[in-house]
Amino acid sequence: MRKRFHGLKRPRLRQSWNKYNLYNLSRAEDPIRRERTFFQQKWTAKSMTRAYHGETVREQKWTRMFRRTIKAVVPMDHRYLAEKDGSELAEGRGSGLDLAPDQKPRIIPKTPYMNMTYAPTERRLDTAIFRALFASSTRQARQFVVHGYVRVNGQKMIYPGYQLNPGDMFQVDPERVLYATGAPKDRQERRAGRKIRALRASQKEAATEETSSEPEPAAEPQTPSSPPPPESTAPAKSTKQTLQSLLAQAKLILTTPSQTLTARRKQDLRAFQRTVKRTLSRPDTFSTATSLDAQLSEITTKMAPEKPTPTPSSTTPEEDIPKLSTPELQAQAESLTPQQLDTLRLALQEARDNPIDASKPYATPWRPREWMSAFAFIPRYLEVHHKICSAVYVRHPVARPGLAEVPTPYGLHVNGLAHNWYLRRR
């Protein structure tokens, strides 16, 4: 059986936002004791660092990934490059002129090369997803990849070990990201979610029974050119039928053998079929109107502490008042001052962006999970756009004076020992 992932007795630091991990991180000390043999020190360093970096990667695989060459950069000043041609470094007695103590340039900090030992693991897709703050641990990121929620350059990628290339864009399904980074549901919310699921299941069952009882009318609409029925009571159904007929047509074209149908055209048709199927399988979008009403009480409490200040009524209030679902609420809203109206508008916008929805797997309205802020950082080799849950792997991580871009909890000494371990010729 595997050892505890987040242990307290033999603590290992992990790539995770767990509170156990935070506690272990807060009390962690340099694990290397100098009185032990060099081999023992290296072994400990290797095992501690490997528990954090790519613990899902097998040792054999990692040793093949490991590179002794380390990428580094030196920031250059274009003014210096233009002004001096480098010969000034050999002036005087051969090592540059002696400057007055107040003119001496600042000492450039050393480049921490050793902290870049595990740079190759940062190229892995699952690690990059965790670093972009799209998952609460690398294991969760790995699961998202395996379950098919991740796309690389628009294509589904199911391998967590995919090595990102500079310029690759990866996207995670926003629902998964909200689930991974959001606070969990409490008991009542879970119960409400169960109820909604049961209701939906029963509705689905009823719908399937309906279609199975009368197969003739469902098969009848074969003519795609016929206009959709004008009744507004079933617009969804009519669009569904047209889509289905389009799908049937595409299938007919594909199955009949012909010379003119090129491979490219077949591919297009198949892609079209896929999109139609996806559209058909998507459930109707959840209307936010009811949840907006549910949040009105919250909004009114928000407005309560504000005192109505007299303001010049230059704007026309009729246009600015947001539309609410019931006439009583509308009347209430019309009696508000402009400042309160602004607050109302902001609150409504917020509620629209972040609605209460018990069917979601996370607590709604969405809020970040606990203990997240201590782990929230984004290394510079990634460019993350959180609104669309996408990121670009801009370049490989590099070391620069005073800074190594690989996020590792251990210091130079431990990482150096680990690097030394993998330098071993075997």
The answer to whether the Cα torsion of 216, 217, 219, 222 is positive or negative is positive
How many Cβ atoms are within 10 Å of 293's Cβ, its own excluded? 14
Minimum CB separation from other proteins for residue 12, in Å? 14
Q: What are the start-end ranges of the E strands in 106-172?
A: 150-152, 155-156, 168-172
CB of 255 to other proteins, least distance (A): 17
For residue 186 the two structure tokens come to: 């409490």
Give whichever of 292 and 406 is closer to other proteins, judged by the CB atom.
406
CA–chain centroid gap for 64, Å, is 29
For residue 240, the minimal CB distance to other proteins (Å) is 18
Q: What is the dihedral of CA 104, 109, 110, 113, to 10 degrees?
A: -150
Q: Closest approach of Cβ 315 to other proteins, in Å?
A: 26
Nearer to other proteins, 165 or 330 (CB): 165
Task: CB nearer to other proteins: give 218 or 423.
Answer: 423
What are phi and psi for residue 173, nearest 5 degrees? -55, 120
Specify the residue, 153 or 203, whose C-beta has the smaller distance to other proteins: 153
Q: How far is the CB of 311 from other proteins (least distance, A)?
A: 24
Q: How far apart are the first and last CA of the chain?
A: 29
Residues 6 or more apart in contact with residue 351 via CB below 8 angstroms: 288, 291, 292, 295, 298, 299, 365
333 vs 393 by CB, closer to other proteins: 393
Q: Are strands 390-393 and 168-172 parallel, antiparallel or unpaired?
A: antiparallel
Report d(CA 265, CA 51) in Å as an integer. 50
Q: From the CB of 158, what's the least distance to other proteins, in Å?
A: 10
CB 213, min distance to other proteins, A: 35
User: Shortest distance, CB of residue 204 to other proteins, whole angstroms?
Assistant: 23
Handedness of CA 369, 372, 377, 381 (dihedral sign): negative
By residue count, the chain amounts to 426
In the complex with other proteins, the residue whose CB is nearer, 77 or 216, is: 77
Beta strands in 259-389 (DSSP E): 382-385
Q: What's the min distance (Å) between Cβ of 107 and other proteins?
A: 16
Neighbouring residues of 408: CB distance < 8 A, sequence distance ≥ 6? 49, 52, 53, 115, 117, 118, 415
- The H-or-E segment that residue 400 falls in is strand 399-400
- The nearer residue to other proteins, 296 or 392, going by C-beta atoms, is 392
Say if residue 365 is preceded by a cis peptide, omega within 30 of 0.
Answer: yes
Q: Of the two residues 32 and 250, which places its CB atom closer to other proteins in the complex?
A: 32
Do residues 161 and 124 make contact, with C-beta atoms less than 8 angstroms apart? yes
Provide, rounded to whole angstroms, the least separation between the CB of residue 134 and other proteins.
9
Give min distance, CB of 214 to other proteins, in A: 33
Residue closer to other proteins by CB (options 98, 205) is 98
> Which residues have CB under 8 Å from 417's CB, separation 6+?
32, 41, 42, 44, 45, 46
Q: Is 118 or 333 the residue whose CB approaches other proteins more closely?
A: 118
- With b for 16 or more beta-carbon neighbours within 10 A and e for fewer, the 383-419 pattern comes to ebeeeebbbbbeebbbbeeeebbbbbbbeeebbbbbb
Residue 302: which residues within 8 A CB-CB, separation 6 or more?
Answer: 343, 347
Q: Which is nearer to other proteins, 79 or 426 (CB)?
A: 79
